[in-house]
Each structure stands twice: as structure tokens, then as C-alpha cells.
């Protein structure tokens, strides 16, 4: 008798806890919607709904609706009872522009072969939208914020982007323009109107997110307003650009095609880009022998070279039956430091081949290659995957900055800054008061040896034209061949003949003992690094060392 009574009570409890299949499938569907799991949502659709829309188009329609609403997060509640086959599941959608949208997702559920399924229709891509309605928005940007130099001077203000410092603004301020096609999807999801004017170059591009402010507008379903937000102008944005150093960088270019980038190192403003002229952030070129900084670091860490290592004095090295020549066929070699100071291809080509493609690529990536830099709009420096580089000759050519290696002036300034900061790669920034960040790239001991080698370059090697009286400068020249890669023009002397076949590089920092500034210079089709880029870098270094600002 007692057992029968208990069974009867258990049956009542179980019956009370039972949920209709319609509510269960609606909640599962809404939960998947909240997670953005479109595959799980699609699996719950009726055969008829799946016949009307494929899975990829289904997912794309939902992504487009979320982007239109500037949705950032979705939270689902508990399903409510059915009303004529429709289960309402309350959703809260957090958006960037319109605040929180609180509306039900009205999930129509149908029986299909005894199983509850979602009879999907297009209006279900966003909660609160009813059958026959479409999701729409009206958005506008606030007035653009004022752009400041590091010293507070206005570089661009108001709708006409007027400047108190026209010279600095002209060289780095940048331009406004229509949204580039490659940014349209990203900016639409942030609430930026498709016809807006945005930063397309210089600081206007790099700091576009900070200068735009927060859009405002209304989100509608048909004629009904689901949510609304007010546009808010951003506070003035102070950049890291120091006008006097920027002027020196522009003067160093002297109207030539190329780039100059200078950044702070070794302090609380580590990584602050204080000057960026020409194509310093956007242009990519073979880095030539400046890349030997990375090859040297890799060889030291792999244990295949040490400061005491000695190499034969030669005019060339043979890899895969092909001669890799020194600059203008000169003879060089000796110790590892001497070979670096004189930029011996006959040493560093074979050293790169011995290091191997895998380790060469790995050390380059630790220095920042193959990943976008932290500055918006800046070009990504690249080295091919190890498996795609090729034979020993291709690896050796890559190790001296030729082959398919491509670098920006910003990237090579970061390489110099990493050695200056004892092996830590700084995070570059153009935004004043950004928290300095850096990551380990190489061991401190390795960085100290590379520092010795870079000092030797300026002391007695190919970069003597970068020397500053009373200050120890550490640097590396580069003369990148543009149409052939089996040799290099002399880096410490003018190129004989056609100078347009080579781009001149120099990457450096100073003072070498307690570095404060790192600089990289690229001059496209301009000749030799030691003769052309090193003296240009010297002027920027000297200006950067005169006083902090």
C-alpha cells in the first residue's frame, strides 16, 4: 500500500516537471542564438525551412542582423507558453550604439514526424522583429575629436581639420575620406554610417577609433523603434608625435620616396612612436642586411655561432652551386662581430642556411614578422612559411634580407628597439598615455652580444656615417637589391652605376649604453645604406637625444 502511494506521488511530481517539447526546442534554439551557434540553430529547423535557405546563407543572414544592430552580447531567458504554435523566449541584446534591446524571439514551432521543429522565417534573425518587418537603423557620427601632438598642439580640429602646426600635420596628420571597401564590414558593425568620412592615412587612420567617438541613432523594426542611443563626441586625442622629431624625420627624407620611424625605448614611454614620415608605417620593401640582426640573434640562440667564432676571409660563399657575393666583391670575414660589422654575405648567407628555414622564421616572428602591428593601418611585415622558402640558397638569401622577405620601416625600428631594450619587443603606439607593453623576443645575453655587434657597425663597419660625437650609436646598414639577389652594393660607399636597383636601410638606437630612442630609415631606390640611410638616421637620432618632449 505504501509503495503504491509513493509511486502515485512520484508520478505527480514527474508530471509536474514535464516540459512540452515545443518549449524545450524553442529554448534550445534561443540559447544557440545567444551563443551565435548558427549550425546548432540550423539543425533545429523544419525540412521546409532548410529547403528555403542553405546553412551558409542562414548564418550570413544572422551575422548581418547582428552587425546592423551593433550587437556585442545576447542573453536568453526562459521560454513562455505557446500561443498559436509560437513560443516567446525573452532576449536581451547588448549593442554598441543603441543600448540594450529587450524583446522576445517569437519562435514558431511545428510538429515534423512527431518531433518539434522550428518553422523559421527571415524576420527571426533579430528579436522583436515581426513577420513582414525588416530590421533597419539610422545612425550618425558625432563631431570628430581634436587630434593633438604630444606637446598638446592641435594637429587637426573641427570639421575642416584645421591645425595649429601645419608642417607637422602635413607630414603625419593624414587625410579623411570615404570608407575603404576592406573596412566597410568592420565599421558597419561598429555603427558607422556607410557614407561616413573616416581616417584613411596618417594619424587620422591610425587613431580613427579614438577620434570617431560613439555613433548614435535608432534601431527599428519596420516603423517601430526597438532602441535608441545618443552620439557622443570623444575627448581630444593626444598622440605620441613630437613635432621637432617629426620635422627631423621629414627633413631626413628630403622629398625622397621612403620612410622614417622613431620611437622611445627604455622608459615609461617605451614603444611611443615620436615620428613617422613618408611610407614609414605602410611601405614594404626587402630589408636587406638590416635583417642580419635577426639572423645573428637566431644563430646565437641556436648555438651555431658565438662571439669567438671565426670565419674565412672571402669574397663570396657558394650555396646550392650559386655564388652569394659580398658587396662589390669585397673580401671580408674574421670574427663573428667583425663579419657583422662589415656585413659579410659570405658569412651570414651560410650561417642562415645552417640555422635553417624553420628557426629563421621562428626568430623573425618573435621580432614581430607575420603578424599585424598594434598600430591600425600599418603594414604587416612578412617572411614566408618555412616550408615555402626553398633550398639553402633561398634560406641564405632570406637570412640577408632578400628573397621574399618584406619589412616596413616601423618593423625595423621595432627590431632595433628590441635589441636596445635587452631582448624585449615593445608594443608600438601612437596614443599618448597608452600603457607600455613589451614581450620577450630573445634572451638578454643574446641581445647584449647583438648590441656589441651593432656598436661595431657604427664604430668601424659599414655604418660609420651614423656616428654622433659624444654618443655611442648602435646600428645596422642594409642595401636591398630590388631586381637581383645574389650580391649587394657596398653599404659604406656610394653604389657604382645604377642606384635605383637598391633601397637603402639603416636601423639604430642611441645612446647604446642607456638607449632612449630607436630609429629606422628606408630610402627606396636610393643607393647604399651606409652612404645614404645612415647619415639620415643620424640626424633623427641627434634630434631625439637633444631633450625629451
DSSP character string of 267-314: STTTTBEEEEEETTTT--B--GGGGHHHHHHHHHHHTS--TT-EEEEE
**What pLDDT digit, counting tens, does each position of 293-321 carry?**
999 999 999 999 999 999 999 999 999 99
Determine the pLDDT at residue 361.
Answer: 98
pLDDT value of position 500: 64
pLDDT for position 484: 53
Q: 160-167 — which CB contacts under 8 Å span 24+ positions? A: 161/204, 165/243, 167/243, 167/247, 167/250
The model's pTM: 0.87
**512: three-class secondary structure by DSSP:** coil
pLDDT given for residue 307 in this prediction: 93
- How many Cα neighbours within 13 Å face the side chain of 250? 14
Residue 519 contacts residue 536 (beta carbons within 8 Å): no
Instruction: Flag residues of the chain having pLDDT under 70.
Output: 1-18, 483-500, 547-549
Closest CA to 93 of 133, 55, 50, 125: 125
Q: What are phi and psi of 528, to 5 degrees?
A: -95, 145
CA dihedral 262, 525, 320, 407 (to 10 degrees): 30
pLDDT at 549: 44
Whether the Cβ atoms of residue 339 and residue 347 lie closer than 8 Å to each other: yes
CA distance 356 to 351: 9
CA 182, 56, 111, 132: dihedral to nearest 10 degrees?
Answer: 40
Contact 153, 165 (CB under 8 A): yes
**Gap between the Cα atoms of 533 and 528, Å rounded:** 7
pLDDT at residue 237, as a whole number = 97
Tell me if 58 sits within 8 A of 32, measured CB to CB. Answer: no
Residue 109 and residue 25 in contact, taking contact as beta carbons nearer than 8 Å: yes
d(CA 427, CA 197): 28
Domains for the chain: give ranges and CATH numbers. Answer: 20-89+104-128 (3.10.450.100), 140-238 (3.90.1310.10), 243-546 (3.40.710.10)
d(C-alpha 491, C-alpha 502), whole Å:
10
Question: Could you give the CA distance from residue 321 to residue 308 in angstroms, rounded to a whole number?
Answer: 29
Between β-strands 237-238 and 147-148, what pairing exists: parallel, antiparallel or unpaired?
Answer: parallel
Exposed/middle/buried for 385, CB within 10 Å: 0-12, 13-18, 19+? Answer: exposed
Q: CA-CA-CA-CA torsion for 96, 372, 61, 56, nearest 10 degrees?
A: -150
Question: What is the model's pLDDT at position 81?
Answer: 73
pLDDT of amino acid 483: 65
Nearest to 214 by CA among 238, 234, 236: 234
Amino acid at each position: 500500500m505504501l509503495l503504491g502511494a509513493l509511486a502515485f506521488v512520484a508520478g505527480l511530481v514527474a508530471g509536474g516537471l514535464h516540459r512540452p517539447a515545443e518549449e524545450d526546442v524553442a529554448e534550445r534554439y534561443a540559447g544557440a542564438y545567444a551563443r551565435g551557434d548558427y549550425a546548432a540553430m540550423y539543425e533545429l529547423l523544419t525540412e521546409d525551412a532548410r529547403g528555403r535557405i542553405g546553412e551558409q546563407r542562414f548564418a550570413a543572414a544572422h551575422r548581418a542582423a547582428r552587425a546592423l544592430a551593433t550587437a556585442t552580447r545576447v542573453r536568453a531567458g526562459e521560454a513562455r507558453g505557446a500561443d498559436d504554435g509560437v513560443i516567446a523566449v525573452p532576449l536581451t541584446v547588448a549593442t554598441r550604439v543603441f543600448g540594450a534591446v529587450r524583446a522576445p524571439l517569437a519562435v514558431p514551432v511545428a510538429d515534423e514526424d512527431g518531433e518539434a521543429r522550428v518553422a523559421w522565417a527571415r524576420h527571426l534573425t533579430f528579436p522583436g522583429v515581426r513577420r513582414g518587418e525588416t530590421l533597419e537603423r539610422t545612425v550618425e557620427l558625432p563631431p570628430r575629436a581634436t587630434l593633438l601632438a604630444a606637446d598638446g598642439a592641435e594637429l587637426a580640429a573641427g570639421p575642416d581639420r584645421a591645425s595649429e602646426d601645419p608642417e607637422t600635420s602635413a607630414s603625419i596628420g593624414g587625410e579623411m575620406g570615404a570608407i575603404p571597401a576592406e573596412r566597410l564590414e568592420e565599421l558597419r558593425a561598429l555603427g558607422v554610417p556607410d557614407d561616413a568620412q573616416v581616417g584613411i592615412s596618417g594619424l587620422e587612420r591610425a587613431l580613427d577609433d579614438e577620434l570617431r567617438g560613439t555613433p548614435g541613432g535608432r534601431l527599428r523594426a519596420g516603423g517601430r523603434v526597438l532602441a535608441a542611443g545618443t552620439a557622443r563626441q570623444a575627448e581630444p586625442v593626444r598622440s605620441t608625435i613630437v613635432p621637432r622629431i617629426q620635422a627631423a624625420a621629414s627633413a631626413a627624407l628630403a622629398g625622397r620616396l621612403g620612410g622614417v620611424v622613431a620611437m622611445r625605448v627604455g622608459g615609461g614611454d617605451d614603444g611611443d612612436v615620436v615620428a613617422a614620415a613618408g611610407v614609414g608605417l605602410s611601405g614594404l620593401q626587402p630589408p636587406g642586411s638590416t635583417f642580419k640582426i635577426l639572423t645573428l640573434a637566431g644563430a646565437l640562440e641556436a648555438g651555431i655561432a658565438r662571439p669567438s667564432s671565426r670565419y674565412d676571409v672571402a669574397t663570396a660563399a657558394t650555396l646550392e652551386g650559386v655564388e652569394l657575393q659580398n658587396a662589390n666583391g669585397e673580401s671580408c670575414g674574421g670574427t663573428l662581430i667583425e663579419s657583422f660589422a662589415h656585413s659579410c654575405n659570405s658569412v651570414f648567407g651560410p650561417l642562415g642556411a645552417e640555422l635553417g628555414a624553420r628557426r629563421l622564421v621562428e626568430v623573425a616572428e618573435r621580432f614581430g614578422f607575420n603578424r599585424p602591428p598594434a598600430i591600425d593601418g600599418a603594414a604587416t611585415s612578412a617572411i614566408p612559411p618555412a616550408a615555402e622558402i626553398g633550398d639553402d640558397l633561398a634560406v641564405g638569401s632570406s637570412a640577408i634580407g632578400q628573397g621574399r622577405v618584406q619589412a616596413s620601416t616601423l618593423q625595423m625600428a621595432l627590431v632595433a628597439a628590441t635589441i636596445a631594450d635587452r631582448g624585449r619587443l615593445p608594443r608600438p603606439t601612437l596614443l599618448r598615455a597608452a600603457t607600455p607593453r613589451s614581450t620577450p623576443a630573445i634572451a638578454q645575453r643574446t641581445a647584449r652580444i647583438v648590441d656589441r655587434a651593432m656598436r661595431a657597425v657604427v664604430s668601424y663597419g659599414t655604418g660609420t656615417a651614423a656616428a654622433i660625437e659624444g654618443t655611442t650609436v648602435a646600428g645596422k646598414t642594409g642595401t636591398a637589391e630590388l631586381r637581383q639577389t645574389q650580391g649587394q652594393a657596398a653599404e659604406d660607399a656610394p653604389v657604382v652605376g645604377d642606384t635605383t636597383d637598391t633601397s637603402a636601410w639603416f636601423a639604430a638606437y642611441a645612446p647604446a649604453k642607456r638607449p632612449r630612442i630607436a630609429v629606422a630609415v628606408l630610402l627606396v631606390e636610393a643607393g647604399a645604406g651606409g652612404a645614404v640611410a645612415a647619415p639620415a638616421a643620424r640626424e633623427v637620432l641627434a634630434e631625439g637625444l637633444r631633450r625629451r618632449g
